Amino acid sequence: MKEPLISFRDFSFQYRSLSEPTLKQINLDIYPGEKILIAGPSGSGKSTLAHCINGLIPFTYSGTLSGEYSLRGQRPADLSIFEISRSVGTILQDQDGQFIGLSVGEDVAFAFENDCMAPADMKPKVTHALDIVDMLPLHDQSPHELSGGQKQRVSLAGVLSMEADILLFDEPLANLDPASGKHAMELMEEIHRQTEKTIIIIEHRVEDVLEQPVDRVVIMAEGRIVKVGTPDEILSSSIMREHGLREPLYVSALKYAGCDLLPKDKPSSLAQVSASPVVKERLAVWADSAEPASKSAPHPPLIEMEDVRFSYDGEREIIRGVSLAIGIGERVALLGNNGAGKSTLSHLLTGIAKPNAGVIRLQGEPINSWSIRRRGEHIGYVMQNPNHMITQPMIWDEVALGLRVRGLSEDEVKTRVEETLRICGLYGYREWPVSALSYGQKKRVTIASILVMEPKLMILDEPTAGQDYKHYTEFMSFISHLADSGMSFLFITHDMHLALEYTERAAVLCNGELIAVGDTAHVLTDTDAIAQANLKETSLGALSRLTGVSAPEAFVRHFIVQEKKVNHHE
């Protein structure tokens, strides 16, 4: 056996500001040329482990270390962060924040500059690195002209140019739309095959990572490693569910159907596992047990957009003739890739942008000329990042803000804030400062601060971004509960899982046009629309197609019914 590149022995770490260790008794060896996925829910310590590997711990974040950790047989504490970065190249989660240069080429050259390389020697190296990631034609662009996926590829080029033999990806899929995420995983695999570098991926979106081959999966929970195994071993077990991680959807479906998955069935490969006759048989029985779909009564319209058009400069149209209705009490998903016009469409609804043509109606009344504030009384808008919305230090004041601005009496403010805090499960925290809350709780505060204004429609921008499956499920069932009371919701998202499980209707936006609108299960199994919008089919659709057990739409619907039952029990 080869010598391990990275080796942890009974390793623990405690941040100086925390009272408990974040990493506990870690034992892990990583060998040269391996491709490893480290998965775990938020707070499992996976990012802290990444910080130990790239040297940010102990050089930037200090704390108490115990046990052994070695990188190529050396103790990182004896090296400097610069020496470590020569071996470990890190691609951070925030694609925009880690882009340092004012142009693509400059960003890639950043490490060379710090190494005092002569400018003439840098140029060919930068060109070569950009060529590997297919970004050479854009070498002069500024970061503001690039998409998230493109910025990530520039960072990758920067790290590749340093010739570090370990590449560490910290949540590479966060903030990427499905198509860019798939592209990123393919690029990683290509680099892995061509360069034989060791690749470590930290990510909780296991399904997307496992679409490409991975040697081993490390599952972390509560600061410990709870299991290490091949993807087949991990997927055949129930370890992911036990620790609040989302299994690939097709694996869940197979388990619901009663298939006893074994590593030899190759559950990590959708194509292989669905070719098994036993699996086909079980799935067919399960699919037949589906109850016929019940048609819900049509909702009377709340908001209607009629042939709405919009352009910023009067030349290039961003929204090209969109007609969409959202019913009272309906949950609608607005899907589409980055740049499809999703945010612009929400800006048109909230009044941040005004349409150049077409009508927007609220319960029959045209609202084109209404200001942002006036629309705000009926249409609430919740931003993706709660830290961008919270302006008051205390939770109570934050929720009361909108009502106080409206000039309501302090008595009425009190009753309404109290009621809202109860609904949102925040009543116990009413006297707390916002800063003491977790990300998910802050997200609830922002919902509460909009809910208290009693809008008829709430627009949620990427409501589950940055949350693991457990928190995501909690949050979305809370939202569903609100929807049952008659409020309408529009979810702006590229998360197909979210749309599938929590919305009744979906609209797919592509280059400013709606290319599909209808029942969510129907839209999400419409392979033409999915391909055209550059989205990604869920693995459920693919599973039903490959096994041929029933129509994808019915199959997906049956799965959701089953999933809801299970989640309800948990």
Partner 1 sequence: MSKAGMLYIDSDTLFHRMDGAAKLIVLAVWTVVVFLFQDIRIFVPLFLIGIIMLLSAKLPWKRIRLLVWLMIVFNIFNSLFTLAITPAYGSEVSGSTTVILDLGYNVLTLETVVYVLTLSMKYMSLMPITVLFIYTTHPTRLASSLNRVGVPYKVAYAFSIAFRYIPDMQAEFRNISNAMQARGLGFGKGEGTLSQRLKHFVSIAIPLVQSSLHRIETISNAMDLRGFGKHSKRTWYSATVWHREDYIVIVTSLIVLIAAIAWRVQGYGTFWYPY
Interface with partner 1 by CB under 8 A: which residues? Answer: 54-56, 59-60, 81-82, 85, 90, 92, 94, 96-103, 105-106, 109-119, 122-123, 126, 142-145, 158, 162, 347, 350-352, 371-373, 375-377, 379-381, 383, 385, 387-393, 401-402, 405-406, 449-450, 453
Helix axes 439-451, 395-405, angle to 10 degrees: 20
DSSP string computed for 156-182: HHHHHHTT-SEEEEESTTTT--HHHHH
Tell me the β-bridge partners of 23. 13
Could you tell me the smallest distance in angstroms from the CB atom of residue 285 to partner 1? 50
- Minimum distance from CB of 115 to partner 1 (Å)? 6
Q: Is the separation of the CB atoms in 220 and 57 below 8 Å?
A: no
Q: Which is nearer to partner 1, 99 or 429 (CB)?
A: 99
Q: Which is nearer to partner 1, 285 or 352 (CB)?
A: 352
Least distance from partner 1 to the Cβ atom of residue 448, Å: 12
* DSSP notation for 9-77: EEEEEEETT-SS-SEEEEEEEE-TT-EEEEE--TTSSHHHHHHHHHTHHHHTS-EEEEEEEEETTB-GG
In Å, what is the CA distance from 163 to each residue of 18, 71, 195?
35, 16, 10
Pairing mode, strands 35-39 and 216-221: parallel
Q: Which is nearer to partner 1, 144 or 295 (CB)?
A: 144
Cβ distance to partner 1 smaller for residue 118 or 271: 118
Nearer to partner 1, 16 or 568 (CB): 16
Beta bridge partners of 357: 309
DSSP letter assigned to residue 206: H
Label residue 258 exposed, middle or buried (CB < 10 Å: 0-12, 13-18, 19+).
exposed
CB of 268 to partner 1, least distance (A): 31
Q: How far is the CB of 408 from partner 1 (least distance, A)?
A: 11
CB 92, min distance to partner 1, A: 6
Nearer to partner 1, 109 or 530 (CB): 109
**Closest listed residue to residue 176, CA positions, set 158, 200, 199, 156:** 156
Q: Give the span between the Cα atoms of 68 and 75, in whole angstroms.
A: 8
C-beta separation of 148 from 176 below 8 A: yes
Q: How far is the CB of 141 from partner 1 (least distance, A)?
A: 9
- Nearest to partner 1 of 54, 236 (CB atom): 54
Cβ neighbours of 429 (radius 10 Å): 18
Tell the smallest beta-carbon distance from residue 393 to partner 1 (Å): 8
CB 534 within 8 A of CB 337: yes
3-class secondary-structure state, position 409: coil
Least gap, CB of 128 to partner 1 (angstroms): 14
515: helix, coil or strand? Answer: strand
Residue whose CB is less far from partner 1, 126 or 261: 126
Residue written as token pair 């607005």 = 334
Rank residues 387 and 567 by Cβ distance to partner 1 and give the closer one: 387
When the beta carbons of 97 and 428 are compared against partner 1, the nearer one is 97
Our CB check for partner 1 shows the closer of 100 and 262 to be: 100
Q: How many CB atoms lie within 10 A of CB 445?
A: 22
Nearest approach, Cβ of residue 87 and partner 1 (Å): 12
Measured from the Cβ of residue 224, the count of other Cβ atoms closer than 10 Å reads 17
| CA gap 202, 253 in Å, rounded | 25
Q: Which is nearer to partner 1, 442 or 505 (CB)?
A: 442
Starting at the edge strand found earlier in the chain, the sheet holding 379-382 runs 379-382, 457-461, 488-493, 331-335, 505-510, 513-519
CB of 88 to partner 1, least distance (A): 8
CB of 387 to partner 1, least distance (A): 5
**Beta strands in 211-364, from DSSP E residues, in sequence order:** 216-221, 224-229, 301-311, 317-327, 331-335, 357-362
